[in-house]
Every structure is written in C-alpha cells, then in structure tokens.
Amino acid sequence: MTQIRITISALASPEIGTGHLRRMMALAEGFLDDLRIALCIHTTALGAEILKGHPFPPDRVALAIAPDDPAVAAIQLAGLLRAQPSHAVIVDNYYWRAETETVLRQPGTLLCVVDDLADRPHLADVLIDQNANQTDAAYRGLVPVNCRLGVGSRFCLLSRPFREQRARGIPGPAARIARDQIFISLGGGDPNRDLPRILHNLLELTDLRLSVATGSHVPDAAALRALAAARPDRIELALDSDRVAEQMQASAMAIAAGGTMTWERAVLGLPTLCLVIADNQVATAVWMEDQGMHRTFDMRGGWQDADFAAAFRAFAGDDAALMNYARRSSALVDGRGVQNAVALIRDEIAVA
C-alpha cells in the first residue's frame, strides 16, 4: 500500500486565534479515514496543547512545532518540506498569499490553500473557502486558471462531533428554543477581554443557564473561574472544551462570535446573536443576517452595556425569529464539507 504524505500548517496563538487550527483538525480527521494517508501537522506551542486533547493516532500523525511569528514559521515549513517531501501541503493562515507561497512550490507537491477572505492572490493548485456567502467568482483572477476550487457551504470544515450530532438528528425549531440554556463563546480566545462583561450582563438579563466555552489561555481565565464558582447554579464554564458540540446541542440559543463557529452553530440549527469581534468576520456575519439566519451585534471598537442589553432582548424575545434562524441556518450546512474537501484534494493528489 503506497503511503500518501500530507503536511498541514495551521498556527494558533492568542493573536491569531484557534479557528485556523480547528478547521484543519477537522480536515485531518477526514484524511485519516484513508489508511494510506500519514500527516504532519505544523503548528505553534498553543496548537500542540490543543492537539493533546485530540485522539489522533501517533503512528500516523507527526507534529512539528512552529514559532508564533508567521513569517518565521513559513521559512521553517519550507525547510520541512525540503527535508521530508509531501504529496500535498495545506496551509491555513492569513499570512499566505502568492508572494509568500513561492517558498512552498516544490515539484510533485500539491499546494492547497484554505482561505476565507478572497482578498489576495494565491499560487494554489487547490483552494478551499468554507464561507457559505462566497462563490467561485470571488477568486477569479486571484488563483491560477487551473486551480481547483472548493467554495461555499458544501465545504464547511466541521469536526467529527458536529458531524455526528447532525447525523443523529437535531431538534426542531420549537423544541430548540424551549431549552433552558444559552451557549456563550468568543471562540478560542478573547482578544478584547469582553467575556466577563458579557456574562455579568447576561446574569442580569436572563434566567437561563449560561454554558461558556473558552480557552484556558485567555487573560481572564482566573476571573471566569471565580465567577463560575460563585454562581454554579447559573454558569457552566468549560475551558479548552472538547464537548462544544454537546454544549451547543443542549442550548436554546447562542451568544457567540463569528468566524469558524458560525458554521458549527448552523449545522446544529442554533439561533445566534453573532458577536462581531474582528474585521474578517463582518462580511459573513452581515450576509447571514441578510439571509435571515442569525442576528448580529458589532463589538468592534468597544460597546455599551445598554446597547448589548437592547440587542439581547430583541433577539431572545422574538420566538418567531428564533425559530426562523434555526430552520434557515440548519438548511444551509449539511455536515458533509469535510468529506467533500478531502475528496477534492485526494483527486488532485492522484493526478499531480
């Protein structure tokens, strides 16, 4: 049996976040269903800590620790590829663009880029963009003419727990919003230190339980632990949670950031007040709102408690809108994106 070697590079840090790595972990799961494939995952020290909680088989997955600086990590990655050639290299980081990708172009190595901005040129042989609001046309002129594109909701890279939750079945809209819990998360980090303030607001605004997922590396981790310990009747705090899908599935609604988690919530039909905390989240968040799939609250540049309270009350108090969000978002993402992306990349490796 001929072994296929694939190198995946996805950095994680408080500045970069963890979304790039987490969607590459989902893609890695899909590749490992093929016993011919062995992986090398190139990530930072924080990424390595996250991977410790993931049951990848050590005989088929090697780890290369990268520096936090994307430019230095790129030089290191190029060296790894020269020392141990791969059939394919997959990169997921906003650092990558045509001029930085030249170091990765090696004979016999397929270059796959994972993007979600469509704002810069690439040298990719394959490009994956999981954003449902994106189309192939967005990459016209940004990639070589023979680049294979996997763009849109058919390529949402969701981890196995979300795929399995969807396959087992999700509650109907009425049953969903009857649950007694709110899921709260800003993803793997909290760059603007908003989470404690959000929780204090919600403790006053609702009687529902608050199920929180964040990283143990966030600056307010100790304060969050203290708050959860003081209010165990109201707050469930999951640091570095490996059961986010369960937390979402058990919830009536979410107060959570945009980015990768948008599609995780959609596949479960979880009505969401989407907190926009970074510029790269705006386009998708606004598109989802325009499609009637969630509601947004822009937190960039600071926010007022009164404005958050008004947005929450308008969101949580409209049962008809909540059920519509659940119905429309769950129809958008079917949970088969990993399989579709793996098939696209494997087909290109076969003909490379």
Q: For the segment 103-156, what is each residue's pLDDT rounded down to a tens digit?
A: 999 899 999 999 999 999 999 999 999 999 999 999 999 999 999 999 999 999
> Do 180 and 69 have their domain in common?
no
- Does pTM surpass 0.85? yes
* 267 & 343 share domain: no
Average pLDDT over residues 266-280: 96
Average pLDDT score over residue span 168-191: 94
pLDDT averaged over every residue in the chain: 95
Do 106 and 193 reside in the same domain of the chain? no
pLDDT on residue 26: 95
Encode pLDDT of 63-92 as tens digits. Answer: 999 999 999 999 999 999 999 999 999 999
pLDDT tens digits along 186-197: 987 898 999 999
Nearest in space to 332 (alpha carbons), one of 117, 128, 165, 155: 155
Q: Are residues 198 and 212 in the same domain?
A: yes
Which string of b and e fits 48-64 if b means at least 16 CB within 10 Å? bebbeeeebeeeebbbb
- Confidence band (pLDDT; 50, 70, 90) for 98? very high
How much is the average pLDDT of 294-305? 96
- Note whether 284 and 340 are same-domain residues: no
Q: Quick check: 292 pLDDT over 90? A: yes
Residue with tokens 């119905």: 327
Under the banding of pLDDT at 50, 70 and 90, the label for residue 296 is: very high
Q: Is the pLDDT of residue 299 over 70?
A: yes
195 and 88 inside one domain: no
CA gap 287, 291 in Å, rounded? 6
Is the same domain home to 341 and 204? no
More confident residue, 351 or 30: 30
* Same-domain status, 241 and 123: no
Element (H, E) at 99: helix 98-101
What's the rounded Cα separation, in Å, for the pair 343 and 168? 23
Instruction: Assess whether 214 and 87 both reside in one domain.
Output: no
pLDDT tens for 204-220 read 999 999 999 998 989 99
How many domains would you assign to the chain?
Answer: 2
In this predicted model, what pLDDT tens digit does every residue of 1-30 receive, in sequence order? 678 999 999 999 888 888 899 999 999 999
Domain range for 273: 160-332
CATH of the domain at 293: 3.40.50.2000
86: left (phi over 0), alpha (psi -120 to 50) or beta: beta
pLDDT class of 350 with cuts at 50, 70, 90: low
pLDDT in tens, 51-65: 998 889 999 999 999
CATH code (residue 72):
3.40.50.11190
State the distance between the two ends of the chain, measured CA to CA, in whole angstroms: 18
- 84 lies in the same domain as 176: no
298 has a pLDDT exceeding 90: yes
The stretches of 171-281 forming alpha helices (DSSP H) are 173-177, 195-205, 221-230, 244-249, 261-267
H helices of 102-220, where?
160-168, 173-177, 195-205
Q: In terms of C-beta density within 10 A (0-12 exposed, 13-18 middle, 19 or more buried), how is residue 315 classed?
A: buried
CB atoms under 10 Å from CB of 3, counted, come to: 10
240 in Cβ contact with 50 (< 8 Å) = yes
What pLDDT shows up at residue 18? 86
Alpha-carbon torsion angle 115, 50, 33, 350, nearest 10: 40
Per-residue pLDDT averaged across 302-329, rounded?
98
Residues 166 and 276 reside in one and the same domain: yes
pLDDT value of position 53: 83
Confidence band for 351, pLDDT divided at 50, 70 and 90: low
Q: Residue 203: how many CB atoms within 10 A of its CB?
A: 14
